[in-house]
Chain A
Amino acid sequence: LAKTTQPISMDSYEGQEVNITCSHNNIATNDYITWYQQFPSQGPRFIIQGYKTKVTNEVASLFIPADRKSSTLSLPRVSLSDTAVYYCLVGDLNTGGFKTIFGAGTRLFVKA
């Protein structure tokens, strides 16, 4: 299972774009990259998932370079309510869901 490394914490201000990078040097050919968001005392919530290049939805964008050894979650114009922990996960879409590893994640603090 591909291990991921992401910063422990980040600070930002309201209205700024935030980019959180995740390293996954031993990602496998069939692996996808998935990001979750977790607020205190709540379960994580799926944000975005991708395999290569760029994926965008109403919440965020996910940038994946050609070698797929890292990925960047981009949150446009953050607000105070985006203060949360963000988890980067890597794994096969069809098998091994039980191997999904939620590490410590990145704690994002958005200030006014």
Chain B
Amino acid sequence: DGGITQSPKYLFRKEGQNVTLSCEQNLNHDAMYWYRQDPGQGLRLIYYSQIVNDFQKGDIAEGYSVSREKKESFPLTVTSAQKNPTAFYLCASSAGGGIGEQYFGPGTRLTVT
């Protein structure tokens, strides 16, 4: 059964700690994306990767870091430098690099206190 998995679904951290969100896909997609969604808002792009070992900053990359060592995996680290990290984080992948269908994971809701 192909798809995208994100773990965990809920994550709680203390301020000042780094935290890594997992994203795995078995769709054989080249492109992967990380979005952040705040309550009542649309999605904002944090980072994207079009191929392994390559990634680019999106609109709100400050305080976040990513890696793309494998095609299937695109983990996101929320660092202590991110001033307002509490949000809903969504990972997506797509076969091509355009506006073609993006497949989304179930999301991780991160709460930092």
* A residues with CB within 8 A of B: 31-32, 34, 41-46, 49, 87, 89-98, 100-105
Contact = CB atoms under 8 A, between A and B. Distances in A.
Interface in B93-113: 94, 96-107, 109
A95 B104 CA distance: 19
A92 B94 CA distance: 14
A51 to B, nearest CB: 11
B98 A43 contact: no
Nearest to A98: B48
20 contacts: A31-B99, A32-B99, A41-B109, A43-B107, A44-B43, A87-B42, A92-B98, A92-B99, A94-B98, A95-B97, A95-B98, A96-B97, A96-B99, A97-B98, A98-B31, A98-B45, A98-B50, A98-B56, A98-B97, A102-B35
A100 B97 CA distance: 10
Interface size range of chain B in the complex: 20 to 34
Contacts of A95: 97-98
Contact of B105 (A43, A49, A100, A101): A43
Given A44-B102, A104-B41, 8 more contacts: A44-B90, A49-B100, A49-B101, A92-B98, A93-B100, A94-B100, A98-B31, A104-B40
Contacts of A92: 98-99
